[in-house]
Amino acid sequence: MDQFMNAEFWIAVGQIIMIDILLGGDNAVVIALACRKLPPKQRTQGILWGTAGAILLRVVLIFFALTLLAIPYLKIVGAVLLVWIGVKLLAPDDEDDHGSIDASDKLWAAVKTVIVADLVMSVDNVIAIAGAAESVGGDHKMPLVIFGLLVSIPIIVWGSQLVIKLMDRFPAIITIGGMLLGWIAGTMAVTDPAVLGFVPTEAAAKAGAPAEVIDTVRYGAGLAGALLVLAMGVLIKRRRLAAAG
């Protein structure tokens, strides 16, 4: 229970929920498309079973992601992917993949469609959530991931339309979300086993430096990642506008 009294735990929970809302918006669309031909009585069952299966699959994927992040250089690769995901969030492509989602009038066929589609679409969520969980460390990672996902389920399934309307009305939410991914990328990159010996955090810790010094380096890397995503997103948007104009 001590982890629930930890401020970093609750900050990471907030990050996971925000990541799921921003990157999981398509989940509600996929669920709706896959279940649209079900009889009304089975539609709710299809939504609930499909969501449960997708979330369970995601927990398993994140467990493996957290384990793999201990391998040298994989955090760096994950950080690069997070920057790319953050930039795509700020400057999305015009392509729409939802047309490939097949509806079914059979309950379990619809559930299977939801789970398979979510598996294909979950790479960005998994990497981002694993990165957010890494900031807490210790034995709190998986409880944090599960808790954050459970809290986000009703938000995604029942509150998706509200969230989409809020994003349309307040675009700053999307900008903050993209910068959050950049922040996670920066803090994750400087903790990769391959670079720990070359960044000031490791040397400072061995020299007995106070936690404030170590945190300054980590937060500095996070800020650099956030600003990088923002700058790249704005640059790509301007280039597209110039090309279109």
- Residue-wise pLDDT for 62-110, tens only, equals 888 777 777 888 888 888 988 988 888 788 776 545 445 555 667 777 7
pLDDT value of residue 34: 72
Residue 242's CB is within 10 A of a number of other CB atoms, namely: 8
Q: How far apart are the C-alpha atoms of 16 and 182, rounded to whole Å? A: 14
Band of pLDDT at residue 225, cut at 50, 70 and 90:
very high
Statement: residue 197 has pLDDT above 60: yes
Number of H helices, E strands in the chain: 10, 0
Mean pLDDT of 167-192: 84
**Closest-CA residue to 101 (of 88, 91, 112, 90):** 112
Domain of 111, in residue numbers: 2-244
pLDDT value of residue 170: 83
- Residue-wise pLDDT for 104-131, tens only, equals 667 777 777 777 766 666 666 777 888 8
Band of pLDDT at residue 132, cut at 50, 70 and 90:
confident
Mean pLDDT of 159-165: 60
Statement: residue 209 has pLDDT above 70: no
Per-residue exposure over 170-209, b if at least 16 CB sit within 10 Å of its own CB, e if not: eeebbbebbbbbbbbbbbbbbbbeebeeebbbbebeeeee
pLDDT value of residue 5: 61
Q: Which two tokens stand for residue 104?
A: 């079914």
Statement: residue 229 has pLDDT above 80: yes
Q: Name the domain count of the chain.
A: 1
SS3 74: helix
Using an 8 Å Cβ cutoff, are 148 and 125 in contact?
Answer: no
> pTM score > 0.75 for this model?
no
